[in-house]
Amino acid sequence: MTQIPMGAVPKKKKEKLKVVGKSNRSPKKVLHEMKRNYSAYLFLLPKLILFTLFVAIPVVWAFVLSFQKYKIFGSEFVGFENYIKVFESEAFRIALKNTLLFTVVTVPFGVISALVLSALIFELGKLSQSLFRSAFYLPTVTSMVIIAMVWRWMYNYDFGLFNYVLGWFGVGPVNWLGQSSTALWALIIMQCLIPFGVGIIMYLASMGSISQSLYEAARMDGASRFKQWIHITIPLLKPTTLYLVLLSTIGSFQVFTQIIMMTGGGPGSATETLVHLIYKTGFRDFEFGLAGAQSVVLFVIILIFSVIQFRVLRHDE
């Protein structure tokens, strides 16, 4: 559900924003300006009220809560107790490890496969381009609840599609989701096989905007098609790649629906992830303060990852 701005979009922002700014700073003038523009505030009012109630206050509250022991009448501040609990708990460590493994495998796989697929699609004619684009994007518009349900069915031990297919090769049957050794990998494989539709659409759009004269020049120099791809296409797609890596990392750290629909974090805690743990802590055990601290830690982890990725991928520009 998270949405973040795309790297390519805010082009205009800087110049436009400068228009407003400095000049009329005296309180009287400001007040006059505010009166003159009262209708603008009225236009903003509905969003501002909703935003304050359901976004701004909860965000601030989340941080406050993480330092409290929540009680319906009068919560008390407990300092860093919740955070200490978070870092000392085995459950959190396991959830973090699982989430990291999930992210480290699925994000590169998703982005690279989107890059390769869109490169292949781009070689085709208009009609087949839009055909394949749709085929790869369609699973993305389907709810993860549905996808999780059908994969649970395909992973079924007795009658599932996968064990049947494995049977052709004389392997299995595998108890995919039922044993600790395979459950997390079953979820990872599933994530890898769901096409990264957003990535494909955005790569195709970016590839369409690369000037053909660059390729023309490369061809004059006798560069092969593959070399052109490596040396022209991929570097020029870097902003898109950065955006997609950030986007899918953030999404991947929040993996939840598959977990609750397919394994419930089990067997044992083999597929426990951070958000599922937060869900359990907050809404099964009703430990609001602890859940608050866990979600703040999740936020910080995501932030750190985003900054690192931004640095690394931006590096040589």
Site residues for other proteins, window 76-115 (CB under 8 A)? none
Question: Taking CB under 8 A as the rule, does residue 175 contact other proteins?
Answer: no
Question: Taking CB under 8 A as the rule, does residue 147 contact other proteins?
Answer: yes
- Minimum CB–partner distance for residue 188 and other proteins (Å): 16
How many residues bind to other proteins according to rule CB under 8 A?
A: 111
CA distances from 245 to 77, 209, 240, 297 (A): 38, 20, 9, 21
Q: Which of 189, 215, 306, 178 is nearest to 254 (CA)?
A: 306
Which DSSP category does 77 fall into? E
Question: Taking CB under 8 A as the rule, does residue 146 contact other proteins?
Answer: yes
Rounded CA-CA distance 150/131 in Å is 24
One residue of 112, 149, 234, 308 binding other proteins per CB under 8 A: 149
What residues have CB less than 8 Å from 18, skipping those under 6 apart?
none
Question: Taking CB under 8 A as the rule, does residue 307 contact other proteins?
Answer: no
Span of 44-52, 78-86, 89-97, 179-187 interacting with other proteins by CB under 8 A: 44-52
Span of 35-43, 88-96, 101-109, 181-189 interacting with other proteins by CB under 8 A: 35-43
For other proteins, the closer CB: 181 or 230: 230
Rounded CA-CA distance 252/292 in Å is 20
One residue of 150, 171, 234, 308 binding other proteins per CB under 8 A: 150
Rounded CA-CA distance 100/115 in Å is 22
Window 7 to 26, contacts with other proteins (CB under 8 A): 9, 12, 16-17, 19-21
Give yes or no for a contact between 129 and 136, defined as CB atoms under 8 angstroms apart: no
Rounded CA-CA distance 257/177 in Å is 15
Give yes or no for a contact between 199 and 111, defined as CB atoms under 8 angstroms apart: yes
Window 194 to 223, contacts with other proteins (CB under 8 A): 194-195, 198, 201-202, 205, 212-213, 215-216, 219
Give yes or no for a contact between 258 and 184, defined as CB atoms under 8 angstroms apart: no
One residue of 77, 112, 283, 308 binding other proteins per CB under 8 A: 283
Q: Which of 255, 276, 275 is nearest to 265 (CA)?
A: 276
Question: Taking CB under 8 A as the rule, does residue 239 contact other proteins?
Answer: no
Helical (H) or strand (E) element with 69: strand 68-69
- Minimum CB–partner distance for residue 182 and other proteins (Å): 19
Question: Taking CB under 8 A as the rule, does residue 224 contact other proteins?
Answer: no
One residue of 254, 266, 267, 309 binding other proteins per CB under 8 A: 254
One residue of 6, 100, 166, 189 binding other proteins per CB under 8 A: 6
- Minimum CB–partner distance for residue 136 and other proteins (Å): 6
Q: Which of 293, 292, 254 is nearest to 276 (CA)?
A: 254
